[in-house]
Structure 1
């Protein structure tokens, strides 16, 4: 039976879900759902092809993989080359290097591993990764290599019927278990990233398609009415998924079972006179692959050039559909015909030659696409290019909570007599360079300990909703360390409070058993501030002086990127300022709560306001960015800048060490 219309209809649902997310809708889970649907479809189609050929006895892995190359590679190659060409002329060199490196990993089908390795608190924004969407193609390709190999090796054990279903069921459960473990494991955000990007935790979605292929003939036992009901249920599942989950829902874990079940129900039903057979759905289904390839670079181009209004997003959506259709007509379909049949080897060589050209272009990242610059412009461009690495904090040695272990960081030559702790998130880490500078230039002895975890607010019972942080356990361990170490006289608490307490923030909760409240809600705010007060009073009771920092200014945009773009475009570069009042409006409740905690042994300090006049703050000075990204000040800048912290931190620290 020909299922092309059913497949196209479901593909249309998938690609429209992806477009719904990437061009401005509030259905945050739509992008996840679209990929899940594509995975199930892919597993279903591949399994049908492999099972049929195995049962006939004429299956070869070489022919199967070549068919996949014909299907996936030409359109992907064309998009990558087109984006390279665009980037060379319209993207400044630092961003272009990242674009080219990711393009290379996409062409070689390991981009999912690239993005998993890059995941982390200081990772660059996903909206500026031009080929981020190709991670799913890499996962599919890895599945295409391993899946048929396993089926061929074990074909004697996988006869049609129950043996095949049982084998696939075991693989499904093992992969699902891996996804769940990665999603609930709280020891490292990297593990959560692997759960999202890697084949072992994603294979169950494609194996679900294999299970559907192994049982699909059973549909003949269902009446037309039942099949319509199954399809309606599947579409309802898709709709429920779009509104039920948000961007912070651990994914895929078991949550992806819902869109997988939805896809399976729709494909199993193959209902007559289905809504999905409408010409509009068939059109989007036909161009779904090319449209998927094009939509993300278009969205990134708009974001990169700060074209963020609804009219630009509408234009981007229309451009994506047009490019997807043109690619389908002139690249995707002709390639399938040209590379199929006789002469396959010769044509394969021509495809590889074009691919080699693309790889060479990727390696040209070391070439400089800058126009000729004056000496001062070149200095500012180089300085802006290195700003992102100018943090000062030895993150490879200190901070975080890997595998449930504290990593205290020592400034000074006498760990045993360290009497000051700087405690907090990445905003606390910023002050490492200033502390180091101050204490090296004084003549005292002693030490300062940094206890930090980027992305974790320094409040008991407060947790990030994303998998992999484990903030509450870190906080508990840090307080125990402070109280048990002995000799600690001062604790300075620094945090990017607005990242957690804003009204529209959904990433941080206060937990009490199984109950939880967002910090942006009145009840969550009340419980979190009471918890902060308990922490501080507990330190007071231990005879420790506490210094609480209010929110420090930050621009919420990458000043160094703006500098590089301006120089690349030949624009005159003036110093950049930003209005911090929008941030202070959000931070006012938590700053007021912090101020209310002042007591004889609790002091409130205001860090970083040296860069502001009122609420107007500097993002650059003499053409140099003061920030390493959109939030964190550069270590080298803070090292030389007097601050309210200076009177608290005057100890000489000639070396860096890591406490056990």
Structure 2
């Protein structure tokens, strides 16, 4: 029935029978009402449970310690899953009680959410955007603007999912990365109240409804975590089950068992509380960033949080561990602390190219706590618990809209490059991956995703002499240069490249590149079938996506080269050493060089600043292994480097084409420059010969 401007429920007898009795006073969520303890037993009221705030404290401390000191708490990210359970529990209790007393209003519900969420969120978005103006280069500031807009619209999880990929910016360089979880919560609360209200009106059992949705969401999570890990992590449908778990807890807490637990905790309560804490602790020890998550591994922390909530608040753990004053205090500021801590970490990483020291990280943690406390006391509490009129809520919504618009405008304007002089803008060209993807035939001959295994038919040409290219994305970068030579030399190319998969058999299996070993063996089988005149084996060699030390690389490369020599007795095998690699994108390093120069001179064609010196050690090891295996080694660094450093542009002019797309992938111009320089070494002594007549044509998959 519509009363005034509010949509309210009108319960009847069949609807009332579908819910359990909620006569016993239940947990009063401090995040949605005042912090005073309400009268026990007052119908329709929710009593305050300090242990819930203590559980918030555990959740936020796990996340914050994991982010500031990842080596100390590798599984701390499970704190987000605990937050989801708490949030689903507290919101569900409010909705259940309002439905039973015929007081539920969608406007009131979302007004409550706005008062709770928006004050601190708008503050953090404005502060982060302002800091980005001064600290970020145009490309990064434009991306931050997109994230501000995505966070303001509560779709940051979708924005991040669309960015996920090999060439994505490192996580710690995204100041608003953490708001994916807030987006999932708010997406949940757009649907959840409507589902409960509709089920209540139709007389459908609420626990049955929530339980069914829980199973569907959990099933999707299990189905996707192995084959689509990014989707399983970021999509709401694979995360909602954790909030539905809180909803089921809210229903259980409304049964008669709650009254027994409140009066005197029994053995089951004590066991539940202890088991809950043990499950959370065990998960912390057993999971890390390489664990497929959420998946089954998210179940123990969710179950642990559920047991702690379901247990009596008077058990020893709930009352003395979770309910102590320090834990409650941290729980009260947990939301602004969560919002503040990641932008601070991110800007520290942006400002310190090397890993920040322990002292800097501790200072960042202290600053996060201080800002969280100030935000809670000066912004969050006055707005949440101040005037009950709707004017503050309307102003908050307007502020969020304006903030998101500012961010989106910065994104559309590519981060306002006009902040810099014209010639500096020439140094700050964004990494042009779209052009690079097209140049290396991504999705056709260069496979970009872990699931891909099929190549287009034109990836294997029939002309002789035939040159086969095997390796990762750095090897794919050679294709434009090789293709450029085809007009004058008339050879064919067979391209077998896969993002993140170095041309070494039996690489360490990483979760997001599980098919690397299969694809490398597929490439070796194709080489045996094709018997190319030249085989170029190339990769980054020192690579974060397959991090193996030099001794291990020597061993695995030696085994690989022996297998290649056996399969290709008449082929000239060339191991091409790594190209120079840099700490960050070369364009950003050129800007740093200009910025750090007292006279603001523009960097020359050769540069040392930001060059990764470790590459030389990998090159020596690869050269020695290749020579020991009786195959040719060709250096890719020699044509690009001199005593002055390594080349950044193909010419001396500041506007000359860049050698690099980013930190180490060659542009088309850079690829042509390198291959022209290596032309005589690659093709020396190679004469055309006929393809083996007794071998069948290669399939499109290359196998």
Give the TM-score normalised by the residue count of structure 1. 0.84
Give the aligned partner of residue 614 of structure 2.
582
Q: CA–CA distance in 1 between the matches of 2:383 and 2:480?
A: 56
What does residue range 197-236 of structure 1 map to in structure 2 within 5 Å? 197-216=234-253, 217=255, 218=257, 223-224=265-266, 226-236=268-278
Flag the structure with larger Rg.
Answer: 2
SS in structure 2 at match of 1:450: strand
**1:181-580 equivalence runs, <5 A:** 181-185=223-227, 191-216=228-253, 217=255, 218=257, 223-224=265-266, 226-269=268-311, 270=313, 271-272=315-316, 273-306=319-352, 308-338=356-386, 341=388, 343-344=389-390, 346-365=391-410, 366=412, 369=416, 375-381=422-428, 384-386=429-431, 391=436, 392-400=439-447, 403-408=451-456, 410=458, 415=462, 419-440=466-487, 442=488, 444-462=489-507, 464-467=509-512, 469-484=514-529, 486=530, 488-499=532-543, 508=546, 528-529=556-557, 531-533=559-561, 535-540=563-568, 543-564=570-591, 572=600, 573-574=602-603, 575-578=607-610, 580=612
Secondary structure at 1:492's aligned position in 2?
strand
Q: Does 2:628 correspond to 1:596?
A: yes
Please identify, of 391-400 and 218-227, the stretch whose mean Cα deviation from structure 2 is larger: 218-227
C-alpha separation in 2, matches of 1:457 and 1:136:
34
CA distance in 1, matches of 2:467, 2:534: 5
Match of 1:171 in 2: 213
CA distance in 1, matches of 2:269, 2:145: 47
Residue 197 of structure 2 corresponds to 152
Equivalent pair of 1:93/1:369 in contact (CA under 8 Å): yes
Query: Contact (CA 8 Å) 1:11, 1:285: kept in 2 or not?
Result: yes
Which of residues 668, 671, 676 is equivalent to 1:638? Answer: 671
Deviation at 1:302, TM superposition (A): 0.9
CA contact (8 A) 2:589 2:609 kept: no
In the TM superposition, residue 290 of structure 1 has moved relative to its aligned partner by: 0.6
Structure 1's 168 and 590: CA in aligned 2 closer, same or farther, altered over 3 A? farther
Distance 1:154 1:468 in 2: 43
| Contact map agreement 1:408 1:451 (CA 8 A) in 2 | no
Q: CA deviation at 1:408?
A: 4.9
Structure 1, unaligned runs of 5 or more: 186-190, 501-506, 509-517, 652-657
1:611 maps onto 2:640 in alignment:
yes
For residues 503 and 542 of structure 2, what CA distance do their matches in structure 1 show?
A: 13
Question: Within 5 A, what are the aligned runs for 1:102-181?
Answer: 102-155=147-200, 164-181=206-223
- Report the CA distance shift for 1:169/1:615 in structure 2 as closer, same or farther (over 3 A): farther
468-477 or 145-154: which moved more? 468-477
Q: CA deviation at 1:96?
A: 1.1
Offset of residue 619 of structure 1: 5.8
Q: 1:576 to 1:629 in 2, by over 3 A?
A: same
Once the two structures are overlaid, the 10-residue window that deviates more, 569-578 or 452-461, is 569-578
Q: Is the 8 A contact 1:438 1:646 kept in 2?
A: no
> RMSD in angstroms over aligned alpha carbons?
3.3
Q: How does 1:60-139 map to 2 (within 5 A)?
A: 60-139=105-184
230 and 78 in structure 1: CA distance in 2 versus 1, 3 angstrom threshold: same
Residues 406 and 478 in structure 1, CA contact (< 8 A), matched pair in contact too = no
SS state of the match for residue 274, structure 1? helix
Deviation at 1:329?
Answer: 1.1
Q: Is the 8 A contact 1:519 1:528 kept in 2?
A: no
State the TM-score, normalized to the length of structure 2. Answer: 0.79
Alignment-derived partner of residue 514 in structure 1: none
Q: Does 1:647 align with 2:681?
A: yes
Shift of 1:328: 0.9
Q: Structure 1 87/225 Cα, relative in aligned 2: closer, same or farther at 3 Å?
A: same
Structure-2 residue corresponding to 1:504: none
Higher mean C-alpha deviation, range 395-404 or range 140-149:
395-404
Distance in 1 of aligned mates of 2:679 and 2:271:
66
Q: Distance in 2 between matches of 1:566 and 1:614?
A: 18
